[in-house]
């Protein structure tokens, strides 16, 4: 699924970023939006034209057309491992 199809409040792992132009690719990289990064979909506008995600302790806004390039899969945090 792509990030724009995600559910608000859910956490995902990025498994692929589809081909996009260099400017957008560089924007993604500057925010830490890379393969295997963990993101949480915080909220989106009513028509999902804009999404807010949490990544690397930062909040990033994406347009729906940008989020369509980001392939994700559900991710469940293992709290036992994280608290070590």
Q: Mind listing the pLDDT tens digit for each residue in 27-49? A: 999 999 999 999 999 999 888 89
Q: Which residues of 30-45 are buried (b: 16+ CB within 10 A; e: fewer)?
A: ebebeeebebbbeebe
What percent of the chain is helix, strand and coil (3-state, nearest 5)? 25, 40, 40
**73 neighbors 79 (Cβ within 8 angstroms):** no
Q: Say what the pLDDT of residue 82 is.
A: 55
Please give the pLDDT value at position 84: 47
Q: Please tell us whether the domain made up of 3-74 is placed in CATH 1.10.3720.10.
A: no
Length of the chain: 84
Task: Supply φ then ψ for residue 68, to 5 degrees.
Answer: -65, -20
Q: Which residues in the chain show pLDDT less than 50?
A: 81, 84
pTM of structure: 0.86
In this prediction, residue 20 carries a pLDDT of 84
- pLDDT reported for residue 69: 97
Per-residue pLDDT, 80:
58
Contact between 8 and 41 under an 8 Å Cβ cutoff? The reply is: yes
């Amino acid at each position: 699924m792509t990030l724009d199809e995600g559910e608000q409040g859910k956490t995902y792992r990025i498994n692929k970023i589809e081909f996009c132009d260099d400017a957008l690719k560089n924007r993604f990289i500057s925010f830490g939006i890379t393969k295997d990064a963990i993101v949480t979909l915080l909220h989106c506008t009513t028509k999902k034209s804009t999404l807010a995600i949490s990544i690397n302790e930062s909040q990033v806004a994406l347009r729906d057309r940008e989020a369509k390039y980001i392939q994700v899969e559900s991710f469940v945090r293992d709290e036992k491992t994280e608290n070590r």
